[in-house]
Structure 1
Amino acid sequence: MSLKKLFFPGLIATFALSAIAHFLTMNSTLQFVLAALAILFAAGFLGKATESVAHYAGDRIGGFLNATFGNAAELIIAIFLVKEGLFDMVKASLTGSIIGNLLLVLGLSVLMGGLKFKEQKFNSLLASHNASLMILGVISLFIPAMFLTSFGEGTHRMNTLSLIVSALLIAAYLLWLLFSMVTHKKELADHVETQPDHGEQPAWSAKLSVLFLVIATVMVAFISEWMVGTLESFSHQFGLSELFVGAFLVAIVGNAAEHSAAVMLAMKNKIGAAVEIAIGSSLQIALFVGPVLVFVSSFTGNTMDLVFMPVELVAIAVAVFIAKSISQDGSTNWFEGALLLIVYVILGVAFYLI
């Protein structure tokens, strides 16, 4: 039996087993492992649905939808963490999502695409704007940290600064969508001729693809809630820091949808769509998801500020710097992908040893 035929039975089986483990309150490690397996299958389902939607809507819109629905897992996980008051793990998961997309997802896509095609090109103007937005994200995180000694962590002034910065970042992201999807849509379109799909047809119709997107997102929501409930005991049992669990374990599991779709698109010589998924997802986390979580936390009566740990700020800045350096010319090769992955491993080891 082929892997494709095993996918849906695996999806149903892991989802059912994860539900049973959760409701029967089994061992926390077993619950975490089953939830992680289930969310990988659910994220794969999500990626397959978004790729099918991309066939009808185009690579640019498809990449945006993949990033958006792919980030649904991180957003849902983070909301549950916010409700539990685990702000440090939330910030770590945001950090992990940003560096995971910029280094791991983009790195794997560029490497695998580069091994098949000597050089891959995409819109250099889009790359330039993406770089500017990434730098804006870094600046917005550095400013609250710089004013920490003046305002004090958790104080009214710091919370006010975090809320104002979050509102401005959301506004900047919405303006970017207006700029890139409406007013300058043609200028930012990927005009590079890419490898045709050889007559490949999408797995499902347009309506069915959208329906499956919704179903997959709901499945991810349930599994995410079950997994969050095990994180604290799991990290204590294995002596892992909340920083490492949030920045790498949660982020890798949550980014599974982007992993599969971006790599598959890059191997079809659609590097523009792959870059849109990887970098677009990081921008969405930094400019939209993070700020939204600040407002969500304020509604619970305990506002999460935007003060990240120095190691988190350094990791994000490093990831943005090398991703900008590699993508700004609008062309990629396998060596650049390898460099991104090496930086990711270096950061992973450093986070693990904290």
Structure 2
Amino acid sequence: MDSINERPIEEHEKETLHSPEITARKSESIMVAEQGSGCEGLCAAHCKIFRGIICRSIQTVVFSSRLNLLMPFGPLAIVVANLTNHHGWVFTLSLLGIMPLAERLGYATEQLAFYAGDTVGGLLNATFGNATELIISLYALKSGMTRVVQLSLLGSILSNMLLVLGCAFLSGGIVFNKKEQVFNKATATVNSGLLLMAVMGLLFPTVLHYTHTEVNFGKSELALSRFSSCIMLLAYTAYLFFQLKSQRNLYVSLAEEEEQSGDNLEDDESPNISKWESVIWLIVMTAWISILSEYLVGAIEGASTAWNLPVAFISVILLPLVGNAAEHASAVMFAMKDKLDISLGVAIGSSTQIAMFVIPFCVVIGWIMGRPLDLNFQLFETATLFLTVIVVAFLLQEGTSNYFKGLMLVLCYLIVAASFFVHVDSSS
């Protein structure tokens, strides 16, 4: 009986032996235990361990990135907004303040993804990477700026599919220029199909509006948008079940297959913070982003006037560049490590989530709030999205990537940005 009881203890000791965090906690508890005894010594030991964990966590998350030097711009934006009426400065400072928060949000998500695997990790990256866009959209919707909601979400899709994915392909192709990188073709095909379904949901209300074939003018378009949004939410829920439960083996990345077969022994990465630390940082970053988003949205129209820039260009190009900072950094980093499945899950998965979940969700929330948000994104914007989805679907159909494909996507994004710079949005 003694030998049976000792086995789990020995195995547990072997598992925790190589954990630097647990080793540090043990050494701290031994040091503090020598200084006191009884309940007081135990409380002092726990307090010192807790303080040590907090200090290490802050040092790892806050002081490990040079981009965090922009964090003081967030509080400065709030001060400027309360003391002056310079909307251009408020918008700029809020934009700069949100950028490191979005990047750190992605970092905390990556740390959490270490405990979840590549498939769930890619989904987590896409979900929390889109938290910035969702928060900004909800504040804009609350303020009645439905057109800003449409344009910012459209810009996020375009930015993820062209700029983020293009930079990932380009950087990965440059690092691994002697070979062609590969990814899970089945995953890319399913995501391309969902994006085409999203384009269909946006296309019919737009065509209905411009052909003047509505049964009840102004009402049928909105009713169709709300019905299509519910269908798209149902389809995305079914996709999550398909991805995580029903056909989970279909979404096992090539990197995970190599790890399971023992071919990828050189990759010995480990998380820098614990699972619960990652969750706490996600909550803190999301709350701070939501505060700055209110100031950012309130200054959009004033910034458009001050800078003499179209609201469409600010919403489609500038806002997504900040909101997609997390996805951009994650996708490029994983592509340079030859983990293209995660990069694809972050970039294309994020676009799919915005198109199939965030946009329909905002329509339903607008319905509840009494805001007439529909899926009619106007003809120019819908055509841009349709062509983008077609181009990306063609480039993904082979299941391989190289630097030239990445360069093509980045150049396509530059064309889109230039188009919105000279485009006058009549609806706004």
Is 1:240 the counterpart of 2:301 in the alignment?
A: no
> 1:61 — aligned with what?
120
Q: How many residues are paired up?
A: 353
Is 1:113 the counterpart of 2:172 in the alignment?
A: yes
Q: State the Cα deviation string for residues 287-329 of structure 1 (Å, max 9, x = none).
A: 1111111111112223211111111111111211111111122
> 1:267 — aligned with what?
336
Residue among 238, 241, 251 paired with 1:178 = 241
CA distance in 1, matches of 2:166, 2:183: 15
Letter in 2 for 1:243: A
> 1:310 — aligned with what?
379
**Contact between 1:88 and 1:242, CA under 8 Å: does it hold in 2?**
no
**Contact between 1:96 and 1:246, CA under 8 Å: does it hold in 2?**
yes
Residue among 71, 75, 88 paired with 2:134 = 75
SS at match of 1:150: coil
Is 1:280 the counterpart of 2:318 in the alignment?
A: no
> 1:188 — aligned with what?
251
SS at match of 1:218: helix
Change (3 A) 1:8 1:244: closer
CA distance in 2, matches of 1:172, 1:333: 32
Q: State the Cα deviation string for residues 21-70 of structure 1 (Å, max 9, x = none).
A: 23334521221111111111101110110111111111211111111111
CA distance in 1, matches of 2:391, 2:401: 13
**Contact between 2:119 and 2:251, CA under 8 Å: does it hold in 1?**
no
Residue among 155, 160, 174 paired with 2:223 = 160
Q: Report the CA distance between 1:248 and its aligned residue.
A: 0.6
Q: Report the CA distance between 1:151 and its aligned residue.
A: 2.1
> 2:200 — aligned with what?
139
CA distance in 2, matches of 1:64, 1:25: 41
Letter in 1 for 2:349: G
> 1:205 — aligned with what?
274
Q: Report the CA distance between 1:8 and its aligned residue.
A: 8.1
Letter in 1 for 2:184: N
CA distance in 1, matches of 2:100, 2:200: 36
Change (3 A) 1:186 1:5: closer
**Contact between 1:7 and 1:41, CA under 8 Å: does it hold in 2?**
no
Is 1:89 the counterpart of 2:148 in the alignment?
A: yes
**Contact between 2:168 and 2:406, CA under 8 Å: does it hold in 1?**
yes
> 1:128 — aligned with what?
189
> 2:96 — aligned with what?
37
CA distance in 2, matches of 1:271, 1:246: 29
**TM-score normalised over the length of structure 1:** 0.94
> 2:413 — aligned with what?
344
SS at match of 2:213: helix
Q: Report the CA distance between 1:330 and its aligned residue.
A: 1.5
> 2:74 — aligned with what?
15
Q: Report the CA distance between 1:124 and its aligned residue.
A: 0.9
Residue among 370, 375, 397 paired with 1:301 = 370
> 2:299 — aligned with what?
230
CA distance in 2, matches of 1:135, 1:266: 25
Residue among 158, 168, 176 paired with 1:99 = 158
CA distance in 2, matches of 1:147, 1:280: 29
**TM-score normalised over the length of structure 2:** 0.79
SS at match of 1:57: coil
CA distance in 1, matches of 2:168, 2:184: 16
Residue among 305, 308, 320 paired with 1:251 = 320
Change (3 A) 1:85 1:207: same
Letter in 1 for 2:82: F
Question: Where does structure 1 lack aligned partners over 5 or more consecutive residues?
Answer: none
Change (3 A) 1:119 1:296: same
Change (3 A) 1:6 1:131: closer
Letter in 2 for 1:131: S
CA distance in 1, matches of 2:215, 2:125: 38
Residue among 79, 88, 109 paired with 1:50 = 109
Q: Which moved more, 1:84-93 or 1:72-81?
A: 84-93
Question: Where does structure 2 lack aligned partners over 5 or more consecutive residues?
Answer: 1-61, 424-428
**Contact between 1:67 and 1:280, CA under 8 Å: does it hold in 2?**
yes
**Max radius of gyration: which structure?**
2
Letter in 2 for 1:283: T
Q: Which has the higher contact order (CA 8 A, sep 6+)?
A: 1
